[in-house]
Amino acid sequence: MKRSNRLILLIGLFLAVVAFVGVILLTNNGTSGTGTPATPTTAKIVVAAQDIPLGTTLTAAMVATKDVPLADKPADSFALPEAVIGKIVRTDVTSGGYISTSTFSSAASLVDVAQLLDPGLGAVSVQVDQVSGVGTLIKPGDRVDVVLSMNDPTKDPIVVEKAPTKEGQPPTTVRNFETVNTLLNSTTVKVLVQNVQVVGTILPPPVAQQGAAQGTTGTGTTPEAATTLNGQAQIVILALTAQQAELVRFTQLDGNLSLMLRSPKDKDAPAVKTTGITLRQLVDSYGVIPPKIILTEQP
């Protein structure tokens, strides 16, 4: 009986020693020799798990995390994928590259606009304001439609051809044209270019900087300059084919240009056939009552 009690006592003593050593080891693993927590030497940053083109809305599958030495952690990086998922990238991102705050900035695409263009496309800049440019909210990577509106009868008069006449010696046939009733409404609107990508945007510099560059204080400027100085203008750079560039240039020279901002989900949407709108279309198809001349008798 005494031997068995002694054995139980030894086993208990052995287990107590093992437990004590275990506690010491766990304590040493969690603290330094001075009893303070070990300083981390690495940090996680969010990187691209694949090549991500301009205008892409980030999903969880497109990003990953990477451990980097703490001293090499970029100040503008993100630590959690959740912080970037759902955002639209404003420049191309290569696989393995880290996602930074500038990835979502309009200025990111201006580093090298040419590299953002697909084969067969060129960059064309247009100037818009808060009305024609969706409140200057358009950003690189967005997709837009270009809308033409024309309403100046003096620039584009409506004419009919009259009977030709013979003029000169020897007589030569001359075609004759006549402007029709000037009361006709000449306003017309049409979507000319659809679903093109924005590869860059530029806002004008602050008033003080622009005035210094022009050597003025802001007085005596033209209305166009005042619009720019007031921060209402925006330069939007579009990626266009040669045919689309011709259409956009026409709207700049001989009409009014507006941009319609599209949903990011429309990237692969087919072109929509539109009728264009004139007063005749409004009357015939939309039930708009046409204006009429009012006749009155003078006293």
Q: Domain tally for the chain?
A: 3
- The yes-or-no verdict on residue 21 having pLDDT over 90 is no
Q: Are 51 and 65 in contact (CB under 8 A)?
A: no
What is the secondary structure of 178-206 as a DSSP string?
EE--TTS---EEEEEEEEEEEEEEEPPPP
Residues 132 and 279 in one domain: yes
In a domain, 3, yes or no: yes
Name which of 24-28, 112-116, 281-285 the model is least confident about: 24-28
Among candidate residues 79, 72, 50, the one with its CA nearest the CA of residue 63 = 50
Instruction: Decide if 198 is inside a domain.
Output: yes
Q: Is the pLDDT of residue 275 over 70?
A: yes
d(CA 187, CA 283): 13
Compute how many other C-beta atoms are within 10 angstroms of the C-beta atom of residue 291.
Answer: 9
Q: What's the pLDDT score for residue 285?
A: 92
pLDDT (average), residues 199-213: 67
Is the pTM higher than 0.75? no
Residue 294, pLDDT score = 83
d(C-alpha 102, C-alpha 83), whole Å: 14
Place of tokens 């409140």: 135
In a domain, 273, yes or no: yes
**Is 86 contained in some domain?**
yes
158 in a structural domain: no
Q: Is residue 127 part of a domain?
A: yes
Residue type, 289: I
CATH code assigned at 62: 3.90.1210.10
All residues at 6 or more sequence positions from 182 whose CB lies less than 8 Å from its CB, including other chains: 153, 157
Does 19 or 225 have the greater pLDDT score? 19
> Is 299 part of a structural domain of the chain?
no
Q: Please indicate, yes or no, if residue 294 is contained in any of the structural domains.
A: no
Looking at the fold, whether 50 and 34 belong to one and the same domain comes out as: no
Residue 44 and residue 78: Cα distance in Å, rounded?
8
Q: What is the DSSP string of 222-285?
A: -HHHHHHHTT--EEEEEEE-HHHHHHHHHHHHHSEEEEEEPPGGGTTPPPPP---EEHHHHHHH
Range of the domain at 22: 1-38
**87 and 210 inside one domain:** no
Region 54-71: mean pLDDT is 94
* Cβ atoms within 10 Å of 173's Cβ, excluding its own: 9
| Claim to verify: residue 204 and residue 80 sit in the same structural domain | no
Kindly tell me if the per-residue pLDDT of 226 is higher than 50: no
Least confident of 20-29, 77-86, 111-120: 20-29
> Which range is most confident: 12-16, 136-140, 235-239, 278-282?
235-239
Reported as a pLDDT band with limits 50, 70 and 90, residue 218 is very low
Residues 207 and 127 in one domain: yes
Helices marked H in 59-184: none
Q: What is the mean pLDDT of the chain?
A: 83
pLDDT above 80 for 15 = no
Please tell me whether residues 81 and 129 are part of one structural domain.
no
pLDDT, residue 199, reads: 94
- pLDDT, tens only, 67-109: 999 989 999 999 999 999 999 999 999 999 999 999 998 887 7
Q: Which pLDDT value is given to residue 148?
A: 95
Are 125 and 242 found together in one domain? Answer: yes
Residue 271 above 70 pLDDT? yes
Span 132-142, pLDDT tens digits: 999 889 999 99
Q: Please check whether residues 240 and 139 belong to one and the same domain.
A: yes
Q: Specify whether 140 is located in the same domain as 246.
A: yes
Whether residues 29 and 52 share a domain: the answer is no
Q: Nearest CA to 277 among 217, 191, 200, 194?
A: 191
pLDDT band at 26 (very low <50, low <70, confident <90, very high): low
Give me the pLDDT at residue 296, please: 83
Regarding whether 31 and 13 lie in a shared domain, the answer is yes
Question: 69, 41 in Cβ contact below 8 A?
Answer: yes
210 and 129 part of one domain: yes
Residue 252: pLDDT over 70: yes
